[in-house]
């Protein structure tokens, strides 16, 4: 039997964090025994295989910078841990498959790779180092996003093309964002932006905006016919926007110091019901009512069913779901 221990991690994006580690001989192993045994591996720039285990002599991991390989591992390991805790404590779910077993993470994939991804085959998350090895794609909301692709695969299994592809992507943005808020980490406060710290555009802007997805220059704010032919990362827009409207409502609002201004297609105001309820509605819709081919109209029906089951068919929550979908042109 191994004693469960916790190490100290100096992350790049989330400050000083606890990391799951376990004593192994004379050193420590980066293994989260308290969370299904999740481990983070070092690919050392390879693009396949599992990589090498991370070990450490003093159980203090990373230095907050990219100068040592451990730092990206700290962020990835922490991201998987917070996502695990969010699933358990908020969604009542024991890991991605609800079986108590962890996925694993791999960092330092490829050469200056500017992406991160989930893979159903390895049941694992993988992170690149970013351009110039400066901004690894290991930010907390990105980790929550990738791990939640595993959650989608294990539940509704939304096909990664057509409108279901956009809903698949949005599910990952929704839970990635939920995880970031859940962490209550003063070094990485929650927001309705994706990847705001990885500076993927090189000008300080985030990867995606949920209050008004078109702010990225590419994403859709509203559903329209034929949308499913486009990239899931752009057709996630209406569902991300729906989630924002349902949580916070339309118009101007400041949350954790960030100013949002969320429009509706017809200018009708939507009143938010709070993020916690919006998350519960999306999770129930995903796990009870959506299937692999669910499209936008069916996602509306699924979330209405979920709101009815959770809060009743005459509730303010149920009405807000309808209003938020109308705001993004899904009726």
Q: Assess 216 for contact with Ca ion (CB under 5 A).
A: no
Site for ligand ASN in 135-174 (CB under 6 A): 145-146, 149, 169
Alpha-carbon distance of 235 to 210, in angstroms, equals 12
Partner touching 141 among ligand ASN, Ca ion, Zn ion, none, CB below 5 to 8 Å by kind: Ca ion
Burial string for 33-68 (b: 16+ CB within 10 Å, else e) reads bebbebbbbbbeeeeeeebeebbbeebbbbebebee
DSSP 8-state class, residue 88: I
Burial string for 126-153 (b: 16+ CB within 10 Å, else e) reads bbbbbeebebbbbbbbbbbbbbbbbbbb
233 catalytic residue (yes or no): yes
Distance in Å, CB of 264 to Zn ion, minimum? 26
Q: How far is CA 75 from CA 232, 298, 309, in A?
A: 26, 36, 37
Alpha-carbon distance of 4 to 206, in angstroms, equals 37
Nearer to ligand ASN, 117 or 123 (CB): 117
Nearer to ligand ASN, 115 or 187 (CB): 115
Nearer to ligand ASN, 118 or 182 (CB): 118
Q: How far is CA 165 from CA 99, 178, 216, in A?
A: 26, 20, 19
Residues linked to residue 117 through DSSP beta bridges, in sequence order: 126
Q: Assess 164 for contact with Zn ion (CB under 5 A).
A: no
Q: Assess 115 for contact with ligand ASN (CB under 6 A).
A: yes
Q: Which of 38, 77, 108, 233 is catalytic?
A: 233
Answer for which of 193, 234, 278, 330 binds Ca ion (CB under 5 A) is 193
Residue nearest to Zn ion (CB): 172
Largest Cα span, the chain: 65
Q: Which of 38, 77, 146, 180 is catalytic?
A: 146
Nearer to ligand ASN, 169 or 248 (CB): 169
Q: Assess 172 for contact with Zn ion (CB under 5 A).
A: yes
Q: Assess 123 for contact with ligand ASN (CB under 6 A).
A: no
Residues linked to residue 159 through DSSP beta bridges, in sequence order: none
Sort residue 199 into left (φ over 0), alpha (ψ -120 to 50) or beta.
left
Q: Assess 117 for contact with ligand ASN (CB under 6 A).
A: yes
Binding flags for Ca ion, 167-186, as an x/- string (CB under 5 A): -------------x------
Answer for which of 32, 56, 129, 141 binds Ca ion (CB under 5 A) is 141
Nearer to Zn ion, 75 or 146 (CB): 146
Partner touching 191 among Zn ion, ligand ASN, Ca ion, none, CB below 5 to 8 Å by kind: Ca ion
Active-site positions read 146, 233
Residues in contact with Zn ion by CB under 5 A are 172
């Amino acid at each position: 039997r191994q004693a469960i221990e916790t190490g100290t991690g100096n992350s790049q994006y989330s400050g000083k964090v606890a990391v799951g580690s376990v004593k192994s001989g004379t050193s420590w192993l980066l293994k989260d025994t308290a969370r299904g045994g999740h481990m983070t591996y070092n690919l050392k720039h390879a693009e396949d295989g599992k990589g090498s285990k991370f070990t450490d002599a003093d159980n203090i991991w990373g230095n907050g910078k990219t100068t040592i390989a451990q730092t990206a591992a700290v962020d990835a390991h922490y991201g998987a841990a917070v996502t695990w805790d969010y699933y358990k404590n908020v969604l009542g779910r024991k890991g991605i498959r609800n079986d108590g077993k962890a996925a694993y993470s791999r960092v330092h994939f490829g050469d200056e790779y500017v992406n991160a991804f989930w893979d159903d085959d390895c049941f694992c998350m993988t992170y690149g180092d970013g351009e110039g090895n400066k901004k690894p794609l290991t930010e907390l909301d990105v980790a929550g996003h990738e791990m939640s692709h595993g959650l989608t695969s294990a539940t509704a299994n939304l096909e990664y093309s057509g409108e279901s592809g956009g809903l698949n992507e949005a599910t990952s943005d929704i839970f990635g964002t939920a995880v970031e808020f859940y962490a209550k980490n003063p070094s990485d406060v929650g927001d309705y932006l994706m990847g705001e710290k990885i500076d993927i555009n090189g000008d300080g802007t985030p990867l995606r905006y949920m209050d008004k997805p078109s702010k990225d220059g590419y994403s859709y704010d509203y559903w329209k016919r034929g949308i499913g032919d486009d990239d899931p990362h752009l057709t996630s827009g209406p569902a991300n926007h729906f989630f924002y409207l349902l949580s916070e409502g339309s118009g101007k609002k400041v949350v954790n110091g960030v100013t949002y201004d969320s429009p509706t297609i017809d200018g009708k105001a939507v009143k938010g019901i709070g993020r916690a309820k919006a998350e519960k509605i999306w999770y129930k819709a995903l796990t009870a009512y959506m299937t692999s081919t669910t499209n936008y109209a069916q996602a509306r029906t699924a979330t209405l069913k979920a709101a009815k089951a959770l809060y009743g068919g005459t509730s303010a929550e149920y009405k807000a779901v309808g209003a938020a979908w109308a705001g993004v042109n899904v009726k």
